[in-house]
Amino acid sequence: MNYYFSEELNDIRELCSEIAEKYIIPVRAQLDVENRFPAEIIRVMAESDLCGIYIPEAYGGSAEVFGGGSLALCVATEELSKACGGIAVSYAANALGAMPILLSGSEEQKQKYLPQLASGEKLAAFALTEPEAGSDAGGVKTRAGREGDFYVLNGTKQWITNGGEAQIYTVIAQTDPSRGARGLSAFIVEDGTPGFSYGKKEDKMGIRASSTRELIFEDCRVPAENLVSREGYGFIVAMKTLDRSRPGVAAQAVGIAQGAFEAAAKYASERVQFGRRIDSFQGIQFMLADMATQIEAARALVYATARMIDAGERKFEKESAMAKVFASDTAMRVTTDAVQIMGGYGYMREYPVEKMMRDAKITQIYEGTNQIQRSVIASAVIKETASGGGR
Amino acid sequence: MRMVVAVKQVPDTSEVRIDEERGTLVREGVPSILNPFDEYALEEAMRWRDQLGGSVTVVTMGPPQAEAVLREAVAMGADDAVLLSDRAFAGADTWATSHTLAKAVERLGGVDVVMTGKQAIDGDTAQTGPGIAASLDWPQITFVGKVRELTEDGIVAERYVEGGCEVVRSSLPVVITVLKDANTPRLPSLRGKMKARKMEVPVWGIDDLGLTPDQVGLDGSPTRVVRIMTPENPASGEIHRGEPEEIARLIVDQLLGNEAD
């Protein structure tokens, strides 16, 4: 489907496709097996100016060129995900880490951190999840107590994408435990800050090229100027960040699904059984038709949401959640069908689709499980109905 | 360091066929690309520019659509570009092409190094680089696998030749032709792509270069292509079966017999 992209957006797609072909596809299987972070590939992306596409020009990026950067980030993430969801998320997680600064940071914080992220000189990560705080973000136990010009952080963050690889972390911690979610605050913590270390590196089912790691804070003194927004606003900072980043996960899901679809469609055109190409069988044809249709619908929803954000719409949590739910469920279904179409070959590591199926699963889980997304969507539509509206 | 990289737009040879009746390449529907060897020359020039300062200008001679490879080179990081295009340039052999490119280098002025790929993948002559040097009366280093040193005082480069490596020193200005061993060409950048799309590419014709019709194109070309064809496949081999000694004797006899012919 033609989405009538600007030439600049097409540049992003072209460039990411070239990176995928030259740098990602040759190594994706190996990085998956070895659980290895694609540092070299991220460097290539940085040199191609891809790290700043969602950051405004005033902070070293080029978001304005693409009409805002949200769609740009989706296009890049989708295209990279076609080749490898794990490498793509290592790229996209930078935006997730940068988003709290971009959306809620002070001018000084933006000036200090965003240019380093736009150039790709440094990587970012976002740290909210804890062993006991997943969907229930209010359950964050990491404590940040004020001591003079510092906040002292104590606690453990879990499953942090880009953990150990990023240099700049936005961390959500409790400044007032008596207030639950309203007692949360967001902090920028730099790699190398005394008291800040990395724990267990996770051994995951999918997206294995990405780093997922524990962050450990033991009397970690963070300058008070690194508080993002105000004390007690951490939950809002986190929710605004996730609303903005969910289309990115949705784009990742669309890319993974597209990659699996293309592999399966090509296989079906070459595989001969009963003396015929298997794509001449209606059973396979209908599967391919459904896969293609679902992917296109997911893509259209993702792009429409991203365009809404780029246009300056302030309220998009419902659309953002819809895009994430629909695209990730699509990715899971399509990758499963891709494995099915390829049969025994699909199940083997020698072919890329079993990895895509493993990679797809996480998109239904992270950045808010699909159950949480449905709650968000439901509460929005119920509110709209109560106010006699809806769209 | 002022550097010029001479590039060529070539058909993607994996998709070219030959029209035997007309003795030409069938280029219709075949995608055109930047000659892959020229990418290495471009990368080499850009690396030295990034280190020493200065500029990299890409030049090509070709039809108006050859502009596409200049834009591609600028997207990768070249500073500017010039297209040499004129009806009179059509049909040029390597002699006329080298001469035309050399005139462009003269017109650009102050050039320290001209780099180009070791050869183009369509003609495969490897003559244009040396031809530019000859036309300019500059020293040349061909088949460069590594540039060891480049300063205002000169260049030290490794030539990868059959059976070994020659280390050659030369004064500037100089022409070098670059091998794939030299580097890994970078990808284009987004900023480069935008710059490439917006830039105006100057087009220089025969008058701009101070050339006359007998020096360029078909009239300026001493070479005539008499015939172009796909060589016939050599006859398929014979298979002998039997005892090794017996077969060996048979083959030796055959070989000796052939030699006697």
Tens of pLDDT, residue by residue over B162-198, are 889 999 999 999 999 999 999 999 999 999 999 999 9
Q: Which CATH number fits domain A235-383: 1.10.240.10, 3.40.718.10, 1.10.760.10, 1.20.140.10?
A: 1.20.140.10
Q: pLDDT-based confidence at B261, cuts 50/70/90?
A: very low
CB atoms within 10 A of CB A80: 29
Is any Cβ of chain A less than 8 angstroms from the Cβ of B180? no
Is any Cβ of chain A less than 8 angstroms from the Cβ of B36? no
Contacts of A48 in chain B (CB under 8 A): 187-190
pLDDT tens, residue by residue, A246-271: 999 999 999 999 999 999 999 999 99
CATH code for A7-122? 1.10.540.10
pLDDT of residue A44: 95
Nearest chain B CA: its distance from A205 CA (Å): 32
CATH-assigned architecture of domain A125-232: Beta Barrel (2.40)
CB atoms B194 and A65 under 8 Å: yes
Beta bridge partners of B81: B58
Per-residue 3-state assignment (H helix, E strand, C coil) for chain B? CEEEEECCEEECHHHCEEECCCCEEECCCCCEEECHHHHHHHHHHHHHHHHHCCEEEEEEECCHHHHHHHHHHHHHCCCEEEEECCHHHCCCCHHHHHHHHHHHHHHHCCCCEEEEECCCCCCCCCCHHHHHHHHHCCCEEEEEEEEEEEECCEEEEEEEECCEEEEEEECCCEEEEECHHHCCCCCCCHHHHHHHHHCCCCEECCCCCCCCHHHCCCCCCCCCCCCCCCCCCCCCCCCCCCCHHHHHHHHHHHHHHHHHC
pLDDT of residue B157: 95
Cβ-nearest to B189 among A7, A22, A47? A47
d(CA A93, CA A166): 10
Q: pLDDT-based confidence at B242, cuts 50/70/90?
A: confident
pLDDT of residue B238: 80
pLDDT of residue A391: 60
> Residue ranges per domain, chain A?
7-122, 125-232, 235-383
Nearest chain B CA: its distance from A36 CA (Å): 23
Is any Cβ of chain B less than 8 angstroms from the Cβ of A22? yes
Contacts of A47 in chain B (CB under 8 A): 186-187, 189
pLDDT at B260 over 60: no
The mean of the pLDDT values for chain B is: 90
Q: Which residue of A14, A15, A42 is the best one to mutate when testing the B interface, meaning the one whose CB has the most B CBs within 10 A?
A: A15
pLDDT tens, residue by residue, B144-172: 999 999 999 999 999 999 889 999 999 99
Choice among A376-385, B28-37, B203-212, B252-261 with the minimum mean pLDDT: B252-261
Nearest chain B CA: its distance from A247 CA (Å): 22
CB atoms B186 and A47 under 8 Å: yes
Is any Cβ of chain B less than 8 angstroms from the Cβ of A7? yes
Contacts of A53 in chain B (CB under 8 A): 190
Per-residue tens of pLDDT for chain A, all 391 residues: 999 999 999 999 999 999 999 999 999 999 999 999 999 999 999 999 999 999 999 999 999 999 999 999 999 999 999 999 999 999 999 999 999 999 999 999 999 999 999 999 999 999 999 998 888 888 999 999 999 999 999 999 999 999 999 999 999 999 999 998 999 999 999 999 999 999 999 999 999 999 999 999 999 999 999 999 999 999 999 999 999 999 999 999 999 999 999 999 999 999 999 999 999 999 999 999 999 999 999 999 999 999 999 999 999 999 999 999 999 999 999 999 999 999 999 999 999 999 999 999 999 999 999 999 999 999 999 999 999 875 6
Task: Provide φ and ψ at A214, rounded to 5°.
Answer: -80, 145
Nearest chain A CA: its distance from B78 CA (Å): 14
Is any Cβ of chain A less than 8 angstroms from the Cβ of B193? yes
Q: pLDDT-based confidence at B121, cuts 50/70/90?
A: confident
Contacts of B191 in chain A (CB under 8 A): 49, 62
d(CA A341, CA A268): 7
pLDDT tens, residue by residue, B211-237: 999 999 888 889 888 877 777 777 778
Nearest chain A CA: its distance from B209 CA (Å): 35
CB atoms A49 and B197 under 8 Å: no
pLDDT of residue B258: 64
Chain B, 135 to 154: residues with Cβ < 8 Å from chain A are: none
pLDDT of residue B130: 93
Percent of chain B with pLDDT over 70: 97
Q: Is A313 a catalytic residue?
A: no
CB atoms within 10 A of CB A156: 16
- Of residues A72 and B120, more confidently modeled: A72
Q: Which residue of B187, B194, B197 is the best one to mutate when testing the A interface, meaning the one whose CB has the most A CBs within 10 A?
A: B187
Contacts of B261 (CB under 8 A, 6+ apart): none
Contacts of B188 in chain A (CB under 8 A): 15, 18, 48
CB atoms A44 and B187 under 8 Å: yes
Identify the active-site residue in A79, A202, A317, A367.
A367
Domains and CATH numbers, chain B: 2-215 (3.40.50.620)
Contacts of A62 in chain B (CB under 8 A): 190-191
pLDDT at B259 over 90: no
Is any Cβ of chain A less than 8 angstroms from the Cβ of B195? no
Q: Which residue has the tokens 């950051």?
A: A55
d(CA B120, CA B8): 7
pLDDT of residue A390: 59
Q: What is the ipTM of this complex?
A: 0.82
